[in-house]
Structure formats: C-alpha cells, structure tokens
Amino acid sequence: MFNNLTDKLQEALRKLRGVASLSESNIAEPMKEVLNALLEADVNREVAEEFVANVSKECLGENVLKSVTPGQMAIKIVNDKLAEFMGEAEAPLAWNSSIRPNVIMMVGLHGGGKTTSSAKLAANIRKRGKRVLLAACDVYRPAAIDQLEILGKEVGVEVYSERGNMDVCEISRNAAKRAVADNYDYLIIDTAGRLQIDTSMVQELVRLKEAVSPAEILLVADAALGQQAVSVAKHFHDALGITGVVLTKLDGDARGGAALSIRKVTGCPIKFVGVGEKVEDLQVFHPDRMASRILGMGDIVSLVEKAAEEIDKEEAEKLQEKLKKNKFDFNDFLSQLRQMTKMGGVEAILKMLPGGGKLAEIPGFDASQFRRMEAIICSMNKKERENPDIIDMSRRRRIAKGSGTTVEQVSQLIKQFGNMRKMMKNVGLFGHAFRGGKLGSMDMGALSAGARMPSFGRGSNYTPPKKKRKKR
C-alpha cells in the first residue's frame, strides 16, 4: 500500500531534516520532488499542485520561522495537509434511530468489488450490534444472487432476493417492507454494475433512489484505477449525489492516487477502504491515520484497536501471569503466532509500526518463516511443547522430519525461543495489551524482534552458513 509513494516522499522530506531555517530556495527542490511523487502516484494534477502550493505556503509561514525544528515542522505540515486533502476526519455511516431501516445503496462499475463490499459492510454493521438485511438487486449478472447469498451466509446476514424478477425497484421496495416487518436497522441494496457508465444504468439507479429514499449512496471504486476511479466517482456523484466512497483493493494499489484525489475532486468522503479479501478487511477510513502511513510513520492506533478486537482478553491475562512466572512455553508461542495471523500476519503488523515496513525489507526476512515455525511447533508432542529442555538430538531429528525442515532450523528455533522467553518475562508480547480489564499501552517491541527470529526464508532445506573464525 503506497510503497512507492512513501519511499519518494520520505526521500524528498529527508532533505528538510536538520535545516536551521526554511526558505524558498531550500524548499524548492524537495517540493518539486513531492509534486513528482504525487503525480507518479496518479494523483490528480490540480490536486497535486494545490497540495504542494499549500505546503510551501505554510512552510514559509511565521510559525515555522519561529520553530526550533523547522525541518520537523515541515514534515508535520505535509502530514496534516495529506490528512486534510483526504478528509481530515472519518466520515461515519449514516444512522437515524427513528427510521427502520436505514437504507444503503451500493453502486459502482462491474469488477470493482461491489457485491463483496456489500457483504463486508453488512458484517461491519452487524459487528456494531445492528441488525442488517442484504437485498440482491443485481439482476443482470449471472450468478450474482448466488454470490451474495454465499457471502451473506459466510457473514451471518440474511439475503432477500426475488429470482426471476427483473424490476429492481419492486425488489428493493419489497426488501424494505421485509426489513420493516422484521425490525432490521439497516438494508443494504447491492445494485447491478456495468462495464461503463451508460444512460440506462444511471436512469435505473435514479429510479431506485426515488423508490427507497436511501440514507447513504456509497460508490464502490477500485483504487487501482487511479485517476479513472476519480472520474467514475465524479460521474456517479453528478448523477446520483453519492454520499461516500468505498475504495477497494487498496492493499494491491502501489500508487494510491485515488485515495488522495477523490475527496478533493468530488467533495465526497471516503468512508471505507478494502485492504484484503477477508470479511474483516473492510476498514473505516481515517484520513489522519492514512496520512501517517503514507509518510512511513506507522498507525499505532489502528494496530491497538485491531489487537483489542482480535486478542482474547482472558487468554491475554493468563499469558501475563505465565510471563511473570517465567512459564511461557511453545504452546503459548504457537498461540501468539496464530494471534498475529488473525491480525493480518506479521507483515501487516509491521506496516502499522513507525518504520516497521522497512523491517520486512531486511535481507533474509521472510514472513513465511512464521508458518515454518508453526510447522515445527506442531510437530512437537505435548511434553516437548511444555518443556523444551527435553528436546534432545533424537527428538529434533523427528521434529525436523515431521515439519519438513532441517535439524539445524529446529535447533535454531529452540535456542531463539529460550532467549525470547527470558526477554518476554520483562517485555511481554500480547500480555500487555490488556491491563486491569482495559486496553493498555501495547508493547510492540517484541513484535519487531520477529525480524531477528531464525531465518527460514530460503526454503525448508536451507542451512545457515557457518561463521568464519577470525585469525588471531
């Protein structure tokens, strides 16, 4: 996500660090690089030029001139302006407690992830304790109703459909009646997409809007389309008056121009972003947090929130007690590896840490090493997991054979685990996530230590080279 843009912005802003004062002469070159970085990221040219002009103006302002660290102040200005251009603050989903149901129309072009996003949004709403009904109104695409029903079953949400009925207005009105009768809080209507915006498509959506009076009209747009996504958003907004955007496939978008341009061009906020294929990979869009991630400054707040959602509180408290007594064993380590998987894996976690994304680029680092660690631990028996000291050479050979690794790799893991256990007695991993029943300050130092775990990144038969002895 934004990898190339992040690298180029960091390189440009690095030139401003440590300068005694900011002037037109010493900011000219870095700002030119910032502009080029934004354009390469497929940010709308007018938006990019306005952004650079605003940043330059504030960098030469009185507050910066009086600042003790003008270079750092300039970086803060860039961060703040990025957040401002993307919307400053999150835009919450519409909710009126006096209305049942609150109707959400999902619109967009074919292939943007509209049906999948509808189900993900339903799961998100359900997680907040609201009752939600999905309505299958994509009557043109083969198997679209089947797809929504499968997804609905996966997320535990009922899907209303009328197979054979091609009147989407009638289907949506009947779905609304059903939602009223069963006291649903939300009704999400999955509309039909097209390969391109055409008159018939727009007219049908306008009629549907008139039929159900939606509280939200959310455009689902593919982030990888860049400026084209911005153009699509503008067309839909002019025709329907969309209330927000769901930006999908942001995990695979290396440029990010759409995220930086949509709000400024259309005036419509980005409300959600899709960052993966899993149901939980639809996230509320926080402009300030995204700005921080774009600049490589991490997103600790989102990480802690994710930890609070995924980590079992009772299990965390038990682990804390075991850490205090130095009884942390391979069963606990396996549990922590699986907790990290729930949170998106070690790479996703590292990207939320300040500078963490760079750790994943360290030579020899391979996120798949954690899967191999799990394979090794799963090849141990109950006694071996609980007491690693009993794992002699004969046991190591058996474990290596069972896990598809080498004896050297098994030995490496056991050695590193011993060191880690000593460290965790004082540091903790996820045990500090909850203190006194409340979310506390999560110590992520141990997580970044994962980059120092045994490197299995060169295949299961890789044996680390022996260190050469220095001649005396």
The secondary structure of the chain, three-state, reads CCHHHHHHHHHHHHCCCCCCCCCHHHHHHHHHHHHHHHHHCCCCHHHHHHHHHHHHHHHCCHHHHCCCCHHHHHHHHHHHHHHHHHCCCCCCCCCCCCCCCEEEEEECCCCCCHHHHHHHHHHHHHHCCCCEEEEEECCCCCCHHHHHHHHHHHHCCCEECCCCCCCHHHHHHHHHHHHHHCCCCEEEEEECCCCCCCHHHHHHHHHHHHHHCCCEEEEEEEHHHCHHHHHHHHHHHHHHCCCEEEEECHHHCCCCHHHHHHHHHHCCCEEEEECCCCHHHEEECCHHHHHHHHCCCCCHHHHHHHHHHHCCHHHHHHHHHHHHCCCCCHHHHHHHHHHHHHCCHHHHHHHCCCCHHHHCCCCCCCCCHHHHHHHHHHCCCHHHHHCHHHCCHHHHHHHHHHHCCCHHHHHHHHHHHHHHHHHHHHCCCCHHHEECCEECCCCCHHHHHHHHCCCCCCCCCCCCCCCCCCCC
Mean pLDDT (the chain) is 80
- Residues 134 and 213 both lie in one domain: yes
- Residues 60 and 111 both lie in one domain: no
**For residue 252, what is the domain's CATH number?**
3.40.50.300
Residue 209, pLDDT score: 95
Query: Is residue 263's pLDDT more than 70?
Result: yes
- Residues 146 and 240 both lie in one domain: yes
- Residues 109 and 251 both lie in one domain: yes
Query: Is residue 373's pLDDT more than 60?
Result: yes
**For residue 46, what is the domain's CATH number?**
1.20.120.140
- Per-residue model confidence as pLDDT tens digits over 238-251: 999 999 999 998 87
- Residues 224 and 170 both lie in one domain: yes
Residue 190, pLDDT score: 96
**Between residues 216 and 350, the one the model is more confident about:** 216
- Per-residue model confidence as pLDDT tens digits over 379-397: 999 999 988 889 999 999 9
Lowest mean pLDDT of 23-27, 194-198, 222-226, 324-328, name the range: 324-328
Residue 315, pLDDT score: 63
311 confidence band (pLDDT: 50, 70, 90): low
**Between residues 21 and 320, the one the model is more confident about:** 21
- Per-residue model confidence as pLDDT tens digits over 106-154: 999 988 899 999 999 999 999 999 999 999 999 988 789 999 999 999 9
Which one of 52, 86, 120 terminates a domain?
A: 86
**For residue 440, what is the domain's CATH number?**
1.10.260.30
- Its pTM surpasses 0.85: no
- Residues 366 and 290 both lie in one domain: no
Domain that holds residue 329: 303-452
- Per-residue model confidence as pLDDT tens digits over 16-49: 877 778 888 889 999 999 999 999 988 989 999 9
- Per-residue model confidence as pLDDT tens digits over 433-457: 434 333 333 333 333 333 343 444 3
